[in-house]
Amino acid sequence: MKVRFGFVSNSSSSSFVLNKNCMTDKEIEEFLEEMEKADQYDTIGGTDNFFFGIIDYSDKFFEWLEIKNFKNIEWN
C-alpha cells in the first residue's frame, strides 16, 4: 500500500502574499492599476503592509505578476 505525505493539489490557482514595505510607491501604484484592469477586487485584498489573494494561473494578472517578478512575493 502506498502512503502519500504532504499536500497534493490539482488546482489551477494559487495564493500569494506580497510585502508592500519592500515595494516602491510606483510598484504599489502599478499593482493597484493592474488589479483594477484585471477586475480582481473579489480575489485580491490588502492591508497597510501586504497585498494578498488567490488567482488563477491562466489569469492575465498572474501573467503580469510573473513578468514583474517581485522578489518579495510568496506563493503557496
Residue entry with cell 480582481: 40
pTM of the model: 0.77
Picking from 69, 37, 65, the residue whose alpha carbon sits closest to that of residue 53 is 65
| Whole-angstrom distance, CA of residue 65 vs CA of residue 14 | 12
Q: What is the mean pLDDT of residues 63-73?
A: 90
Domain residue ranges of the chain, discontinuous segments joined by +: 13-70
Comparison of pLDDT for 52 and 5, the residue scoring more: 52
